[in-house]
Chain A
């Protein structure tokens, strides 16, 4: 072995775990033991699990650092581990063909990591690693040498806006929280990341839990609060575990609890696990949920900063917002402000998914163009197909068509084209995706998640969904598009909370940019993207069929007939259009039309 100091970092973010990160860790442990290398902490060779590195498409990513020289491997599985250990760690000769290539470099180039600066670098379960990386310096600074109003001023200067989606200036929220006097005040961190297609907050809570806690401590000092809650989705068990671990470590070290840093300041944090309701991401619903009730929004007669949880003043921010705070306190408000645009400071984390080559977690300065994100960072569309639209903001957002790809990504520009920034989901749609079906998908979601309290949302979304269902089933009627637009604008205007007010967005924005697709469904009874089941047929191209029988065996309803080595036939009466035959045919003999 050449070096004395060997570090192996294995990506265990959401992508890493799903790609089998645990097995890779075990394989490394086994190999290192076999080779009699002492692979424990602080020894010659150390093994670390780290948070999300970003390029999940190439997971499991493994970084090996020998005497400060970094090498990153992509697509690693347990079978590849023995060779890496033998050739690279023992022989000091990296395995060239597995080293992360061009995609990885391009992926990183235009990103600036503020919130994610520790993700993928440090072991999230190791508090010392966080402290060594500069952690808790900001909290120490805020508690020992800054007054609450100084902290508020710094955050105001930074131009940080709420990263949950609405974009309310964080400094203003904190100022109000400080101004209102009360014996009890609360700080709440909203980790109820419910948007389908988004995993920014999950990655931060799992990959760098201490940064969230540090941000909350600073917020508590700034607003003179002594009790905090983190509301985490039940679907994120690892985030709950890591946050709880981090809280316990802080209590032990005296960074939480009584008399933090010997300053006489007290602050406690408790985790509250959500129970699976999207609407609980809405501030008032979230607070009712912590109180143990059904998570139903209440009219906003007061700001939460005046009357929130248990009717007490409450400052509620999103996970990513809190994770930004320590960096702002350390580097100053101006530094953060200058990273972004004039109206919104800093960077934003997005989860880039869907039909894109380099899917993963990215952090970019606000004001970057959508084109740069999709093509420079994301590497373009998979399989050489063409881009149709980018969906941002989840079920509350909209679809931005390919023609508008040069817009800047910030709160105002996205709103102008009928979408929203949202919490950071960015789903890429290509020519194989049907826009009517996409709109229906989002409405199905909001309809199911509607709490049922106010009529426009409860019944309005139901009626909209019924119309979309008949359109995708081929029973659309003349005037349906106009009816959707009419209903949508009423629901938007009259719903009680954000969920209802934004629910029509996916429908309205797809009608705005893809009206022709709606019309094709209604007038021609055709789905141009060949997605909607009732509007497509499957048949076998006789010349291409080899009669192998693969489709016949796979068909769940026995609708395919034929003898071996002779062209087969699909019985359209029996076919349920599940598409299995299309998937299993190796000769491209199944025609979808």
Chain B
């Protein structure tokens, strides 16, 4: 971990970075913001950890907990809402057994995120599954994708 943090620090000095750019680098490398990373930078740069924490919790891009193996991002933009994305979310959470107030399944295999809008409104409703956009989503289409992911993660244990 230290090696990666050193690299981020170097990038910070070279590119006139700031608190946000450091957090973006951490998130990109670890998939979330580990507490140790914040403390490490806080000491190195003499910036209070609370500044990092305050900034990290302000922006929706940053996560303080690790995410699941598969990430389903349901668009909650207006066009998607009008076309029924609210129902999609409720049904996915049920299907994946994700407890209320949480976004990741207990086995760590699935994370369901909401995004304000990804700008693919003409294809609404959309769900992004591990970076790939699924357009004009119906429950049927979605279940098939989830089934595929479930099968795949059965073989890749860990």
Contacts and interface: CB of A to CB of B under 8 A. Distances in A.
Interface of A: 14-15, 17-19, 56-57, 59, 193-199, 202-203, 234-236, 273-278, 289, 291-295, 351-355, 359-361, 391, 394, 425, 427-429, 433, 438, 441-442, 445, 449, 451, 554, 556-557, 576, 578-580, 583-584
B139 interface: yes
Contact of B79 (A291, A427, A580): A427
B13 interface: no
B140 A292 contact: no
Contact of B20 (A196, A289, A583): A289
Contact of B119 (A14, A234, A275, A391): A14
A517 B81 CA distance: 19
Contact of A14 (B17, B55, B120): B120
Contacts of B126: 18
B32 interface: no
Interface of B: 17-21, 23-24, 54-55, 58-62, 76-83, 86-87, 90-91, 94-95, 115-124, 126, 133, 135, 138-140
A580 B140 CA distance: 9
B63 to A, nearest CB: 11
A197 B140 contact: no
A294 B54 contact: yes
A197 B119 CA distance: 7
Contact of A292 (B18, B60, B78, B95): B18
Q: Which of B77, B79, B83, B122 has the most CB of A within 10 A?
A: B122
Given A275-B20, A359-B122, A578-B90, A194 B135 contact: no
5 contacts: A56-B123, A197-B78, A275-B62, A292-B55, A429-B82
Given A294-B54, A556-B91, A441 B81 contact: yes
Given A275-B23, A294-B58, A391 B78 contact: yes
Contacts of B117: 194-199, 235
By secondary structure, the B interface counts as helix
Contact of B61 (A275, A360, A394): A275
A578 B77 contact: no
A449 B58 CA distance: 9
Given A57-B122, A556-B94, 17 more contacts: A14-B120, A14-B122, A59-B122, A194-B117, A197-B78, A199-B119, A199-B120, A199-B121, A277-B59, A292-B17, A292-B18, A353-B78, A354-B79, A355-B82, A428-B82, A556-B95, A580-B91
Contact of B133 (A18, A274, A276, A277): A18
Contacts of A576: 94
Given A196-B76, A196-B117, A441-B78, A276 B122 contact: no
Contacts of A441: 78, 81, 86
A445 B75 CA distance: 12
A445 B116 contact: yes
Q: Which of B18, B21, B119 has the most CB of A within 10 A?
A: B119
Contacts of A196: 76-81, 116-117
B138 A583 contact: yes
Contacts of B55: 292-294
A236 B62 CA distance: 16
Given A195-B117, A235-B117, A556-B94, A15 B78 contact: no
Contacts of A449: 116
